[in-house]
Structure formats: C-alpha cells, structure tokens
Structure 1
Amino acid sequence: MNAGDAGLAFAWGLASGSGLLIGAVIGLYANLPRRAVALVMGFGSGILISVIAFDLMDEAFGHAGLLPVVGGFLGGAALFTVVSIALARAGGRHRKRSAHGPDGANARAIAVGSIMDNIPESIVIGLSLIDGKGVA
C-alpha cells in the first residue's frame, strides 16, 4: 500500500467515524424525546442486521469459508458478552435506559460499545480499499 492509498483509507475511516462523533455531541447536548432515540436506534439496528445478513457474511464466506466466518462471528459475540457483563458489574446495569446512570456509567458503556463497533468497521473499510475496488 502506498502513501496515497493509506491517506485515502484514513480519510474514509475518518468520514465513517464522524457519524459517531456527531451523534455523541447531539446526545450530550440535545434533549431528545425517548421516542426519537428509539426510532434512530431501531433504524440503525435494522440497517446493521441487513448489511451483515446480506452482504458481509456472504462475502466473508466466499473469501474464507465456513470456519473462519463462524469463528469470527462467535468470537465477536463472546467479546461483546464479556464486555457487557463487565460493564454491568461496573455500574452500567441500566445502560440501555435513556436516563443517566450513576457516575457516568451509561456514558462509559455507550463509549465502549461504540469503540468496539467502530474499530472493526474502520478496518473493513480500509481493507476494502486494498483490493482497489473502492469503498463498499
């Protein structure tokens, strides 16, 4: 990979991650109704499930076969489960509610979840550029 490709990958990663920062700022400073928050979360969940089911899993299976895909899927699920349990024990038990938790536990839980989601996502975007096919 040359410097131009690395710069392009960085720019796309920055662009894809900017939504997280914009959403965090809105979440911190805007007093959104619970219904609006639920609508955005439901929409995002539906998009994520659709992308995984119809695009990423099929492409991963075509490139690597069944065992690496299942291993990655189960490994990611195990990591999210372990981190979720750790966050609940650290005071983030009610992190899925829109009210503030004790000592910012809800904010920490959301930040950790977002980081766990966005790092692999940014890696996938960068790797898609290596193929020379552009951003998928």
Structure 2
Amino acid sequence: MGLQNIAMIRDQIQQMLEYYGAALSDGNFAVIANAWAVPALVLSDAGALPVADIHEVEKFFAGAVEWYHNQGITSTRPEIQRIDVLSERLVAVDVRWPSFNAAGQEVMSELSHYILEMGSDSQLRFRVALTRTAAVKDK
C-alpha cells in the first residue's frame, strides 16, 4: 500500500465506503459484515466492544440501522476527511457521515475514525472503528 499509491488507495477507500454506506442505508447486513475483519474493535463513550465474529457485526448493525430508520434517517454517504497510511496493510481514515431523511435533507452527521486493513484478498476491511462525534442538525 505505499505512499506512492495514495491516489489509488484513496479511490479504493472511497469505493469501499460508498458501498458500505449504501449497505447501511439499505440494511444489507451481509455486505456490512463482509466489510469487517475479525477480530475487530468498536470504541465509543459506552466503552470498547470487541467483535470476534461476523455474526456479531450483523447483530450490532441490525440494531443500529433500526435506530437510524426510527429517527427518519434513510440514507448516508461517506465524505473522507483524512487518510494516513500507517503501514503496508493498515490505513487510518477520518470519515464524515451525513445522514439524510426521505426528502434528502441532512438531519445529522457523525465523524468516525477507522483503521482499515488490507486483507490477503486485496480488500480493505474495518479493523477498528471509533465514532468521534454525532450531532443533530439544527432545524
């Protein structure tokens, strides 16, 4: 993954996150789970959630997607804020996730920090996730 390939890596990260965002919007839990390498770690104010198995990813996101849909949120898309190549197989990414209602209005956003790992199949997957901020949009 070297620094000389940052443009290619950025494109690959963008594509992966767009696919992931569409899966979140649609509730496609198989695609969501496949975007994670296990074991993984999800960090939040609630604590650290170790993820040992893909089925845990599906279960976690089933609850999360339901919560977002109950808030009237129907879609999201990634906006990459920063990329740091950490090693040949690891990259840190800051992503803003604006969330939209059915009318296409942004109602909230989250800023997440991820450590992505390049797998032996040349696919990037989440290894660590940290939601840094969640803000409700002023009306």
What is the TM-score of this pair, normalised by structure 1?
0.31
Greater helix proportion: 1
With structure 2 as the length reference, what TM-score do the two structures score? 0.31
In our comparison, the structure showing a higher alpha carbon Rg is: 1
Name the structure where strand makes up a greater proportion of residues.
2
